[in-house]
Structure 1
């Protein structure tokens, strides 16, 4: 513990990363994003866009716009992490105060643990499919235990153990894992794309389907598609400093994210459409779910290799996008008791208590609730950008972030402009999820949250500062 730092705000995991230890290059940042962008949800996203009436080429336009906006947001929010070597849960104290910061930290942590649970259970199903293909004995273990077959419990234990192994020893092992996993998933995806090109004798029938939308209907659907694509990564836009704090320079984090985020997404989306085009010719219908495609092909070797790839892709996104931020958030809540290894194991345990197998096939209510929580993180992003670039002018007193009663303390640890903005912005941005008359607002909830968070926070902060001067 450094002298003067509060024990409930500081430990070695939350401390700024020393410049000589910030050794992530642009390649590390790029491979981390490659591993995250290639996931089942992103693969199936093109299906949702085409179901709305967009053509395959228009899907690519949506992806290009959405990921360009995401890249700019990630780049801007990543800068203070690289500049000062601090994680999100420490950076956010400058805007919310040390006590007020716990609100966005808990919200982000909840989302991270939930998504870890969801994705890990998807990998559990893939592991079960692999082992059932390899062993008839394994396939026979179907006695239900607490709502799930015993073989599924064993598969889940294996998946949880793999997550524990990768996340042990902190970000250094994660960095090395992603250096292999990200490119490897791309290689397997290219193999699937070559297969799709051969079956379809070219791009396939999906690329010849014309758009069904024109005029205002096209504009509205295009905006909805962009918002939906951004929504997949809106929570990570908040805690990108958790990664960028390890990058050696601003140039490395910009180049790495440019390659790993928009460029990879633009390569991955046509790969998904081409592969699915082949399923139209083989089965008479598009199969967008990769697990369902493996089962439909009914080839044991393909099931094993494909299932292993899905598991690898899930591990790749889960350890970085969910376990890592959730661990830092838990450390922030209990700095006296947790380090990264203990916190990551706690994330794994909490993931079990989300019991994903009980609602996995009936998740509408859960996703609606998470949309509301995610809607509140849009204002958090706007608050962070306004605070760092306008209010603080890109200059932070890092030591003060670890002390009570200092320049970021606000009123008793609460900087009320940020708290008020979060409540108001979150309510407005999420209103479309709960008020039918405002459903259209839900289509642009992230953008609404960003603009409300940015503008309202600046207005309230100026008023707060004027009142503070008058009181003095």
Structure 2
């Protein structure tokens, strides 16, 4: 059900919103089932996802175990995305506006900034990963490119790599040239192209291995259920951690949905179905490298370099690099652009936020972040542990506290239902802090490492129940009463020396 555009006072729009943060008008909600499906095709079919899935094979999971890990993770992700995307589709509002209902009008900036910072880091990492394929394609078409600059380096990267990164980074500007509508058209064009590469890889894998059976009968290092269970759960949590930002981001896209049914069906077709198909092909190709080269290669760029047809490699590398732009824009560029617009709505529009985000990504020096694979997986778990509690609070607030009914006018009001105490809802921050602390403590206390391995699950579940508990034990009243209560509590603690 679409919600009509509310009428706001001019000063309210200036202080808490701008055109990009207001609910999307019904005539602008044009995303159909196929648009959401193709969005996920673009998000999944890229170089970093291949490396993640191939990495699971390298870590010792059997091909069938990897497929089950991805299938279970994708189903959990689909459930969380559908739940958190409901409000975006119903009310036409993006994440930083939706999160005001739980964290408060001003408090919403905290999770929005956390999401934005992480997204900017991933924007740089994904741009560098895509530029590696771009670099290979250019070098194959122009061999002299590899020798540009000689031994000159900049922060550990040579001139060819740096030029490839900057050129690839620049291509992102074309995708959002005309906002979300141009993104919709771009992903519809590029997503199917990746399947050309996947079909080619699958054919090569089957031919190299001598059939399907030798690929999928390979065994991993976990031979018993007892050996497998905890690494398996940790791997599922790690995969979810990779996409945890999108669980928060999804209202940024579902707000353009033609109907609730379109976003739910589109994400079903695009996520679990596409992810499983992509995993089967990736596992087959990675397993085939074991047969062909004696050890598994989890990097698709390295795999492509084993072929002896430069033109084929160049075309495949270009397709994969372009597909990486799609995932980067959807997962890591749209969200911080909205977050910055929400932080300074008077001065920053979505388009301005987009430019600021792009420039900020340059300063992450992503090739340094990518030097240690272990550090990347650690970062993924930290992301899941930090963002999981935010998703838990949002889902609890929308479904359990609000019963899917929001006061759309008060979301843009300084004196409305979501002002809480001076613009902050302390209950959401307590729930988030508690969930994140328990989820991440294992990263610093070796004896609790088991908690860290399932950080996303812990963060979501704990914050979900803690938030509901605080909202029911100390429910918000009108703003003045809440301010008086908290001020009295503060004064009482000061008098008792607490």
Q: Tell me the equivalent position of 2:493.
A: none
User: Is residue 397 from structure 1 mapped to residue 404 from structure 2 by the alignment?
Assistant: no
Corresponding position: 1:429 with 2:439: yes
Could you tell me whether the CA contact under 8 Å between 1:30 and 1:261 is conserved in 2?
Answer: yes
Q: Secondary structure in 1 aligned to 2:305?
A: helix
Q: Report the counterpart of residue 215 of structure 1 in structure 2.
A: 225
Residue 332 (str. 1) matches residue 339 (str. 2)? no
Q: Within 1, Cα distance between the matches of 2:223 and 2:291?
A: 25
Q: Which residue of the partner structure matches residue 422 of structure 2?
A: 412
Structure 1 SS opposite 2:102? helix
| C-alpha separation in 1, matches of 2:15 and 2:190 | 36
Q: Conserved in 2, the CA contact under 8 Å of 1:204 and 1:278?
A: no
Deviations 1:372-412 (A, max 9, x none): 34312111111001100011110011111111121000100
Q: Which residue of 1 aligns with 2:92?
A: 85
Q: CA RMSD for the aligned pairs?
A: 2.0
> Matches of 1:307 and 1:466 in 2, distance apart?
55
Which sits farther off after the overlay, 55-64 or 107-116?
55-64
2:320 to 292, 310, 328: 310
Q: CA deviation at 1:340?
A: 2.3
Is the 8 Å Cα contact of residues 241 and 383 (structure 2) preserved in structure 1? no
Residues 151 and 219 of structure 1: is their aligned pair in 2 closer, same or farther, counting only changes over 3 Å? closer
Q: Which of 301, 304, 309 is matched with 1:294 structurally?
A: 304
User: Which of these residues, 143, 149, 156, is aligned with residue 142 of structure 1?
Assistant: 149
Task: Compute the displacement of 1:53 (Å).
Answer: 4.0
Any unmatched runs of 5+ in structure 2?
1-6, 486-498
Report what 1:115 is aligned to: 122
- Report if the CA contact (8 A) 1:78-1:244 is conserved: yes
Aligned-pair CA distance for 1:13: 0.6
Moved more, 138-147 or 425-434: 138-147
Deviations 1:201-226 (A, max 9, x none): 21263412235331322221221121
Matching of residue 30 in structure 1 with residue 37 in structure 2:
yes
After alignment, is 361-370 or 141-150 more displaced? 361-370
Which residue pairs with 2:140 in the alignment?
133
In structure 1, stretches of 5+ residues that fail to align are: none
TM-score, normalising length from structure 1? 0.95
Which position in structure 2 is the counterpart of 1:345?
A: 355
Residues 227 and 446 in structure 1, CA contact (< 8 A), matched pair in contact too: yes
5 Å-filtered alignment, 1:264-275, equals 264-275=274-285
CA distance in 2, matches of 1:106, 1:350: 13
- The alignment partner of 2:39 has SS state of helix
1:445 pairs with one of 444, 447, 455: 455
Is 1:178 aligned to 2:187, yes or no?
yes
Distance 1:300 1:408, change over 3 A: same
The alignment of Structure 1 onto Structure 2 pairs a total of residues equal to: 472
The structural deviation recorded for 1:364 is 4.5
Match of 1:462 among 440, 462, 472: 472
| Cα displacement (A) at 1:299 | 2.8
The offset of 1:464, in angstroms, is 2.3
Distance 1:194 1:85, change over 3 A: same
Q: Distance in 2 between matches of 1:277 and 1:209?
A: 8
Change (3 A) 1:419 1:6: farther
Given candidates 29, 36, 39, the residue that maps to 2:46 is 39
- CA deviation vs aligned residue, 1:111-140 (integer Å, no higher than 9, x gap): 111101001011222222222222233222
Aligned CA distance change for structure 1 residues 112 and 26 (closer, same or farther; 3 Å):
same
For residues 108 and 15 of structure 1, the distance between their equivalents in structure 2, rounded to whole angstroms, comes to 20
1:68 to 1:370, Cα distance in 2 relative to 1, 3 A: closer
Question: Which residue matches 2:201?
Answer: 192
User: Which of 63, 75, 80 is the equivalent residue of 2:82?
Assistant: 75
CA–CA distance in 2 between the matches of 1:53 and 1:360? 21
Q: C-alpha separation between the residues in 2 aligned to 1:375 and 1:9?
A: 29
Q: 1:240 matched to which residue of 2?
A: 250
Change (3 A) 1:63 1:96: same
Residue equivalent to 1:276: 286
Q: Is the 8 A contact 2:125 2:369 kept in 1?
A: no
